[in-house]
Chain A
Amino acid sequence: SAVISQKPSRDICQRGTSLTIQCQVDSQVTMMFWYRQQPGQSLTLIATANQGSEATYESGFVIDKFPISRPNLTFSTLTVSNMSPEDSSIYLCSVRAGGLEKLFFGSGTQLSVL
């Protein structure tokens, strides 16, 4: 399995500002994913962040709004830029670890934008 730590666990931000969310894994993983869960909704994939390549974004998500870094095999960041209230969501990172078919999820970052 994998232990995934996300920081911060929650934050309240002002409109127009940016927040960087960190995802730290206790083992080296090639595949890492970022998801968004809007209030009371399901999860939507934002982007795939594999080490050694540029992040690939799903339809409706762009790099200028959600820049991602993946400096090594245990760490990634997602930045939510120029925030608006519509960005209020839980953001989760997910990894495939240890060659398992399971995908593990971090504890999430609950973001509220005022």
Chain B
Amino acid sequence: ELKVEQNPLFLSMQEGKNYTIYCNYSTTSDRLYWYRQDPGKSLESLFVLLSNGAVKQEGRLMASLDTKARLSTLHITAAVHDLSATYFCAVDHSGAGSYQLTFGKGTKLSVIP
């Protein structure tokens, strides 16, 4: 059974600081997704990582994937309050394009002034 572990589960950080969220998964997969969820809202797709060594950046967020280590990271640079949300990583069940996702528990990020 595929397990996806995120840490930390809660993160309080000051504006302007950098931090990294980690996502480990238990079986082989080369497809990893990052989503953002605001309170009471649905999920917004941030990144799709499709191969070992993939790196994607959007604004203050950068995601990377190491399939050999079964690890993805979401790096936050110079955090701002608008980044406060819950961030989920998710892994494709079969790693072969089934698009059936197993989600981590989420990291609730609070950016404080």
Please count how many residues in chain A sit with their CB below 8 Å of the partner chain's CB atoms: 19
> How far is B93's CA from A33's CA once the two chains are assembled, in angstroms?
13
> 9 A-B pairs, CB-CB below 8 angstroms?
A41-B105, A42-B103, A42-B104, A43-B43, A45-B101, A105-B45, A106-B42, A107-B41, A108-B42
Residues of A contacting B50 with CB < 8 Å? Answer: 101
Q: Which residues of A contact B (CB under 8 A)?
A: 31, 33, 41-45, 48, 58, 92, 96, 101-108
Pairwise interchain contact A42-B45, C-beta atoms closer than 8 A: no
Report chain A residues within 8 Å CB of B90.
43
Residues of B within 8 A of A (CB): 31, 33, 35, 41-43, 45, 48, 50, 88, 90, 93, 99-106
Chain A CB within 10 A, most for which of B31, B93, B100: B100
Verify A103–B33 contact, CB threshold 8 A: yes
Q: B42, A42: Cβ atoms under 8 Å?
A: no
Closest Cβ of chain B to A87, distance in Å, is 19
In the assembly, what is the distance between CA of A42 and CA of B3, in Å?
A: 12
Q: How far is the CA of A48 from the CA of B92 in the complex (A)?
A: 13
Contact A42 B88 (CB under 8 A): yes
Given A42-B105, A92-B42, A108-B42: A103 in contact with B88 (beta carbons within 8 A)? no
A58 CB to nearest chain B CB (Å): 8
A103 touching B105, Cβ below 8 Å: no
Top 4 closest A-B pairs, CB basis? A105-B43, A42-B103, A43-B103, A101-B48
